[in-house]
Amino acid sequence: MADDSVDVHVTKNGTLWLATVDGVAGGMSARSLKELHADVAEGLPFLFGDRAEPPTPVFHYTLPGLTGEDLSAFAELQRRAAAIAEDYSRTARARVEHLSSLGLSDADIGELLGLTKQRIQQIRTSNAEARQSA
């Protein structure tokens, strides 16, 4: 690993999550993964006090039937899904605003876009709130 990151190996043993940090004797344990992540983040400045900045942890998980590639593939899928959802929301807001400016009713806009009248009302409300906060 580069000097700005450090490998942290994580396993589950009974009710505890266990972490070992490359190049550091001993390990850490916690009852939840969130707690373990926080403990690692808090501990790195002390474990690597000789550095101007503590290294960034790179977590590697060893769990039965699940590989690091499985987790990475899911994370990539999640990033793509979030991008698609953001694009969908932006496009839906623009279409609803345009169709509304043409004088169409929420029911007619919903029919054109394949959405319910209630969903069109939600989108119009979020558009109005966005304009007010800008």
User: What pLDDT, in 10s, does the model give residues 36-53?
Assistant: 999 999 999 999 988 889
Express each pLDDT in 68-94 by its tens digit. Answer: 889 999 999 999 999 999 999 999 999
Q: 109 and 91 in one domain?
A: yes
49 DSSP 8-state letter:
T
Range(s) of the domain holding residue 84: 70-129
- The span from the CA of 120 to the CA of 96, in Å, is 7
Mean pLDDT, the chain, rounded, equals 92
How much is the pTM? Answer: 0.63
Domain of 13, CATH number, reads: 3.30.2390.10
From the centroid of its chain, how far is CA 30? 22
By residue count, the chain amounts to 134
Q: 59 and 9 in one domain?
A: yes
Q: Is 134 contained in some domain?
A: no
Element (H, E) at 50: none
